[in-house]
Every structure is written in C-alpha cells, then in structure tokens.
Amino acid sequence: MTTTARPRVGIVGLGTIGSMTAWQAAARGFDVTVFESFWPGHNEGAAAGGTRMFRRVYAEGATYGPLVDEAWRMWRELEYATGEDILFRTGGLSIGPANHPVLSGGLADAQDRGLPYEILDAEALAARYPQHRLLPGELALFDPEAGVLRSNVAVAAATAEARRLGATLRLNETVLAVEDTATGARIVSENGSETFDHVVIAGGPWAQNLLPDLPLETRAIFHTWHLVNNRQLLRPERFPITLRRSGPDLSYGLMSALDGSRIKLAPHFDYARGIDDVAELDRHVRHEWQRVSIELVEKLLPGVEPGPVEAGIFPESFSPDGHAAVGPVDPSARIVVLAGFSGHGFKLAPAFGRAAVDVLETGSSALLPSEVDLHRDYRAQVSIRDLVLNSEPA
Ligand SMILES: Cc1cc2nc3c(=O)[nH]c(=O)nc-3n(C[C@H](O)[C@H](O)[C@H](O)COP(=O)(O)OP(=O)(O)OC[C@H]3O[C@@H](n4cnc5c(N)ncnc54)[C@H](O)[C@@H]3O)c2cc1C
C-alpha cells in the first residue's frame, strides 16, 4: 500500500490568526508546525486585554459579508469542539449622526444581507440602554447578533484544537527569516532552519520584521476599564458593545468586560504612532490619555464612573488603508501572508484562518474580499478608517 505524504505547513505566530490557521490547517489534513516567540494566549500581542467586539452588521461594506457570516458560524464551531464559552451575545449599538457611515453603512449592510436590526431614537435608547446619552440629531443602530469575544480563551481554544488534531507547537522560538528556496519555503529560527511545502506568516504587530516591503506600521491601542454605578447595567445582556462616532473627540468603542465588575472603553483620539519594535513599546499609560477617557465618560456615559480602575496599551499592525493584507506572495502559494488587521481582525479570525487554508490548497479563497488583497495598491483604495472606523479598534 502506498501512502501520500501530507503537505507540510510552517506557521509563524500562534496569536489570533496563527492559532485559527493552525486549527483549520490541521483539520484539513496538513502536517502543521507552529513557531511562536512566546506561548499560547500570551498578553504581549494584539489579542491581549481579555475581550474583543464581534459585529454581525458590518458597516465597512457587504463585500465582507461572507467572512463575517463564516466567522459567526465558526466561533460556535470552536465553542462546540472545545467546550469553551467564547462569544457572548450582548447585541451591539452603532451611535452617531443619522448620516454618519457607521449608521448609513450599517443600515445598508443589514438590509443587503437580510440581517435583523433596529433603529433607536433618543427616547427608545434611554429606555433600553440608559448608559448612553445621545446628542441632538443622533440615532443608534442596534445589531442583536453582536457580542463580546473572550480573546485569550479563543486563542487558547483554537490552539488546543490544533494540537488535538496533530499540530506541533514550537514555543519560545522566534523566526528570524522566511526564505523561498528551490526545495520549498524555509523557516530560519533561533534554533536552526527547516523547509516546508508552505509557510504562513501571521506575525501580527511583529510582521513587519519579516515583511519589510509591505507598507505596515505597528501602533499602540489604548483602553481604560471603568466601574458602573448601576450594577444592574453590568449584566452583559444589558450592555451591548458600542461603536460611537459623535465627532473627533467624542468617538469610542465600549463593551462589557464580562467579569461582572466593569466595562472597557477604547477612546479614539490622536495618540497612535508608529513603533519600530514591539519590544520598545512604552506601556506606561500617560495621565493625559486617561483624561480623554474621563471626559468622554462625563459627557456621554451617565451610568459609568469617569475615573478608570485600570488602563492598558496593546500593539496592533496597521495598513495604510485599514484593510488587512492577505494572500499568497506568488501563485504557487508557497508563502502566504496574513497581516495588517488594523484594529478589526479578531472578530473575523477563524474565517481568515479558513481562507488561509483555501489559499494553501488552491491559491485563492472565495471568502476574501478584494479589499484585503496582499498585492493591491494600498494608497489607491478608500480607507476603511476614513469611511467608518477612524483608527480605533472595533
Ligand atoms: C487593544 C486592541 C483592541 C482591539 N479590539 C478589537 C475588537 O474589538 N474587535 C476586533 O475584531 N478586532 C479588534 N482588534 C484587532 C485584533 O485584536 C487584531 O487584528 C488581531 O488580534 C491581530 O491578530 P494577529 O494574529 O495578526 O496578531 P497577534 O494576535 O499579536 O499574533 C501574532 C503572534 O505572532 C507571534 N510572532 C510574531 N513574530 C514572530 C516570529 N518572528 N517568530 C515567532 N512568533 C512570532 C507573536 O508572538 C504573536 O503571538 C483590537 C486590537 C487591539 C490591539
């Protein structure tokens, strides 16, 4: 009897995207080896901080619909496979002036994709979610299928599943270079080198070290955690995730911390800056940054304590137009890149993992919108940040 050798894939990074790709590649019969500088679920990278938003209605555009729907299904699949609670459904609010793209884009997407939604005016919002104060002319779009993802748990669950399906983990081992050679794709690590049929680079905020020609920039994202006066509001189902765009100094992301004691606020203001080396990231939270959170809470969030009980800074890789950079480096898909998730990669991570494996097998994936094409002109495309999100995470 002859046996066919399984194709070998080396994955750089066991963070958000690497863990999901490892799970999917192992499930589809690849012989998987993952290299990770730290360990599964570590707190140094873009998955840190405990929670992430999931939005089903996607104001960024209907081209993302297949990815969003696949991610929605796959989070449940991962929960079922591992017994972990990963996606907690809280519903979601997008708040802003009625003509802001976060509302008009969301409304168009919900209608195009036949998703459930509600539009709430100030009175309806005050009755249901009194933690928000609308400004004149503002509305809220409610997405009942949005929720909070437990990010570290999600990465650990995908890692466990990959391992159960036969993946090999090489932890505390940093990859120094990835080379395309005549015999395959070679990973050069601190401990030597090894050649694979394919290599997937999912290095997150460190990706630019291995991909210096891609126009990626690592930036810091800042969060504060706050107590809530009315403890009834802390029940996650009373506290929908929220994207608010009320003006340049009045924009934020907000969600329950899911621990029954506090909420998490990501204020949007102009603090993000290029970081050449994540190891050099200054994690000291400046007092003036905390003041931004305090002022936002005082103006817009009546049920919430203004002074933060905790604050944190986390790195993320950004592309110039805010869309991820995903695809094969060349048509043989020997080296595949998933990078530059620009503050919104977590919710879609399992679907990106599945798409990466499609690319390994066939060179492309029907799940991927053209906006994320690795080989696009990054400066020609409409910026997702200008359109909807600005630079903060969601
Ligand atoms: C504070 C913050 C809040 C966010 N909020 C949201 C949100 O609400 N919703 C949402 O959808 N998205 C959100 N995002 C974005 C989302 O979390 C990221 O897009 C996603 O986590 C990126 O995943 P990644 O795999 O690219 O990076 P990571 O998860 O950081 O993974 C990269 C991994 O690669 C490893 N690595 C790198 N280089 C090497 C190497 N050379 N050798 C070995 N290992 C290596 C790293 O150690 C790391 O484990 C947020 C991001 C941040 C920072």
> Which atom of ligand 1 is nearest to 253's Cα?
8
Is the pLDDT score of 154 beyond 60?
yes
The residue to mutate among 33, 35, 36, having the most atoms of ligand 1 within 8 angstroms of its beta carbon, is 36
Q: Is residue 278 part of a domain?
A: yes
Which of 318, 352, 368 is a domain's end point?
318
* CATH number of domain containing 106: 3.30.9.10
> Which atom of ligand 1 is nearest to 155's Cα?
29
CA angle 354, 360, 362 (to 5 degrees): 100
Find how far residue 46's CA is from the centre of its chain: 8
> Which atom of ligand 1 is nearest to 51's Cα?
8
Residue 62 CA to residue 195 CA, distance in Å, equals: 39
Closest-CA residue to 73 (of 62, 60, 86): 86
pLDDT tens column, 18-53:
999 999 999 999 999 999 999 998 989 999 999 999
Expressed as residue numbers, the domain containing 117 is 89-146+217-318
- Are 121 and 172 found together in one domain? no
Mean pLDDT of 206-222: 91
Question: Where does the pLDDT of residue 385 fall: very low under 50, low under 70, confident under 90, or very high at 90 and above?
Answer: low
pLDDT for 272 equals: 58
- Are 233 and 376 found together in one domain? no
Q: How much distance in Å is there from the Cα of 231 to the middle of ligand 1?
A: 32
Which of 318, 341, 368 is a domain's end point?
318
Local structure of 337: helix, strand or coil: strand
Residue 205 CA to residue 209 CA, distance in Å, equals: 9
- Are 243 and 372 found together in one domain? no
- Are 282 and 374 found together in one domain? no
Contact 288, 271 (CB under 8 A): no
Q: Hey, whose CA ends up nearest to atom 13 of ligand 1? A: 344
- Are 235 and 182 found together in one domain? no
Residues β-bridged to residue 171: 36
- Are 305 and 350 found together in one domain? no
Element (H, E) at 173: none
Q: Select the more confidently predicted residue: 249 or 68.
A: 68
- Are 302 and 253 found together in one domain? yes
Is the pLDDT score of 331 beyond 80?
yes
> Which atom of ligand 1 is nearest to 173's Cα?
43
Is the pLDDT score of 393 beyond 60?
no
Looking at the 3D structure of the chain, how many domains does it have?
A: 2
Q: Hey, whose CA ends up nearest to atom 49 of ligand 1? A: 15
- Are 279 and 340 found together in one domain? no
Q: How much distance in Å is there from the Cα of 345 to the middle of ligand 1?
A: 8
> Which atom of ligand 1 is nearest to 19's Cα?
25
The dihedral formed by the CA atoms of 284, 285, 286 and 291, expressed in degrees to the nearest 10? -170
Q: How much distance in Å is there from the Cα of 275 to the middle of ligand 1?
A: 15
* CATH number of domain containing 336: 3.50.50.60
List all residues whose CB is within 6 A of at least one atom of ligand 1: 12-18, 35-38, 45-47, 49, 52-53, 174-175, 202-206, 210, 221, 223, 314, 316, 341, 343-347, 393-394
Beta strands 184-189 and 192-196 are antiparallel
Q: Is residue 57 part of a domain?
A: no
Q: Hey, whose CA ends up nearest to atom 14 of ligand 1? A: 343
- Are 210 and 354 found together in one domain? yes
